[in-house]
Amino acid sequence: MLTPRNEKRMRALLEGLCDPTRIKIVRALRDTTLAASDLAHVVGRNRSITSQHLRVLRELGAIVAKRKGNVVRYTLSEDLSGTIIEEAASVFDRLQPGTAAAKS
């Protein structure tokens, strides 16, 4: 059973994924590290909106920002928050129409 503190954290993490843009960001960061401008292009949003979504994911501990010169690159966090977010996004992927899991 989850402690009240962990339950609150779990709820915040799952609520963080309730936005399609944030799910796209997590998917994009699964295998690589990307700058905000690259992520904006991948998710089809302007940089300002993408940065707002990145802030939410950073605050949840799901992604990590690393600055190198003028460029900030993002990657999924290796701690529990990043793992939970990545696993949840994988489950959502399996639920997409046309997949075996979605047809069950």
Per-residue pLDDT, 98: 64
Domains of the chain: 4-97 (1.10.10.10)
Tell me how crowded residue 62 is: count the other CB atoms within 10 A of its CB: 28
* Predicted confidence band of residue 103 (pLDDT cuts 50, 70, 90): very low
CA 85 to centroid of chain Cα atoms: 6
pLDDT at 101 over 80: no
* Mean pLDDT across the chain: 84
- Give residue-wise pLDDT tens across range 31-74: 899 999 999 999 999 999 999 999 999 998 889 999 999 999 99
Rounded CA separation 5/11 (Å): 10
